[in-house]
Amino acid sequence: MQVIEITAFGAPEVLQLCERPQPQLKSGEVLIKVHAAGVNRPDVFQRQGNYPVPPGASDLPGLEVAGEIVDGELGDSGFKKGDLVCALVQGGGYAEYCAAPLAQCLPVPQGLSPLQAAALPETFFTVWSNVFDRAHLAPGETLLVQGGSSGIGVTAIQIAAALGHRVFATAGSDDKCRACEELGAERGINYRTEDFEQVVKAATDGRGADVILDMVGGDYLPREIRALADDGRLVVIALLGGAKAQLDLGQVLRRRLTITGSTLRPRPVEFKAHVAKQLLDRVWPLLASGKVKPVIYKTFPLAQASQAHALMESSAHVGKIMLTLA
Ligand SMILES: NC(=O)c1ccc[n+]([C@@H]2O[C@H](COP(=O)([O-])OP(=O)(O)OC[C@H]3O[C@@H](n4cnc5c(N)ncnc54)[C@H](OP(=O)(O)O)[C@@H]3O)[C@@H](O)[C@H]2O)c1
């Protein structure tokens, strides 16, 4: 089969089209003939040599795919061979065939194409497990999303807004802020010209956000602590601004704040199966009704994966960058 290999750690050009044998299925896995695969920032970190592959996972990049089930034990899953599914995978998505744990497969939502469905798993699993599971965003509460125009951000904004939450989102340009507002954010905050702490406090009568989804870290931490409401939760999913921060623990004590975080990829299949079930129950109906939509910025053929990575690194995009297979 044709695959994209990381031939060495480095610039996007190290991604090369190569031939590999089809993956051997492990227990509990199915083989998917891939129609489309999503590009995610962690793929860029992996290509740069900054994101080691978990033991036992494919060394090929690609954390999400959609396509046709062509092999594997389907048990009482309700799926049959030939069904179109999307799946969260531990790697190997940039390929004509990809092995996926059956428990991490979800049906292509009603009304969506396989390309659109391939844009879902990585960000929907991440957002659900962090914002709703880990940080317990509860009815009536307010969410601040850092990086609102990212693949993660557009998902967080839409799901939270569709479930009735007030959402604020930061982004690096006025155009990106408007895009966040069109997706359901009450207010896009241009972090280059505005202070998110002040904007969120002013819009909430000084209360602050109940939950902040953060992919920046670094010097955002002290400002985020101040931007949280009493009993607020900060959930860190990436450290684009650095891993070290100074913060006032007095605020954490006095205002009962929670600081947490997680990474999805190394979690076991059982955890991801639990998230898949919640997505099917709570979020797939929002996709079927059109209240939440995949936001695809640009699609490249598999062979142009290096261009897809270069685009992601330019940060010109809003939403997802995708790869398609013939
Ligand atoms: N923990 C997990 O399980 C997990 C899972 C998936 C992804 N992630 C992480 O989540 C992040 C987003 O992933 P993605 O695939 O959605 O990537 P992406 O689309 O490339 O998004 C990265 C975003 O970061 C924003 N950004 C950079 N510096 C910022 C700052 N100082 N303030 C606010 N926003 C800033 C960029 O926005 P501007 O261009 O507007 O600056 C861009 O939208 C990545 O770091 C990725 O590694 C974590």
- The answer to whether 125 and 265 are in contact (CB under 8 A) is no
Pairing of strands 97-101, 29-39: antiparallel
- Report the interhelical angle of 41-48 vs 305-314 (nearest 10°): 110
Atom 39 (ligand 1) nearest CA = 315
pLDDT at residue 126, rounded to an integer: 98
- The answer to whether 66 and 35 are in contact (CB under 8 A) is yes
Distance from C-alpha of 65 to C-alpha of 95, rounded to nearest angstrom: 9
pLDDT at residue 49, rounded to an integer: 97
- The b-or-e profile of 259-284 (16+ CB within 10 A means b, else e) is beeeebbebebebbbebbeebeeebb
Atom 43 (ligand 1) nearest CA = 150
User: Which ligand 1 atom is at minimum distance from the Cα of 63?
Assistant: 6
User: Which ligand 1 atom is at minimum distance from the Cα of 39?
Assistant: 15
Atom 24 (ligand 1) nearest CA = 147
Distance from C-alpha of 186 to C-alpha of 169, rounded to nearest angstrom: 8
DSSP E strands: which ranges in the chain?
A: 2-6, 15-19, 29-39, 64-72, 84-88, 97-101, 105-107, 142-145, 166-171, 187-190, 209-214, 228-236, 258-261, 296-301, 320-324
- Residue 314 is encoded by which pair of tokens? 């330019």
Q: Which residue ranges in the chain fall short of pLDDT 50?
A: none
> 95 CA distance to ligand 1 centroid (A)?
24
Distance from C-alpha of 180 to C-alpha of 147, rounded to nearest angstrom: 10
- The answer to whether 300 and 36 are in contact (CB under 8 A) is no
| Cα 186–chain centre separation | 21
pLDDT at residue 326, rounded to an integer: 76
- The answer to whether 125 and 273 are in contact (CB under 8 A) is no
pLDDT at residue 80, rounded to an integer: 97
Is the pTM higher than 0.95? The answer reads yes
Ligand 1 pocket by Cβ (under 6 Å): 40-42, 122, 126, 146-147, 149-152, 170-172, 176, 191, 215-216, 237-238, 240-241, 262-264, 312, 315
Nearest to 292 by CA among 178, 139, 128, 168: 128
Nearest to 133 by CA among 281, 285, 241, 288: 281
Distance from C-alpha of 219 to C-alpha of 243, rounded to nearest angstrom: 9
pLDDT at residue 246, rounded to an integer: 92
Distance from C-alpha of 270 to C-alpha of 209, rounded to nearest angstrom: 31
Atom 13 (ligand 1) nearest CA = 41
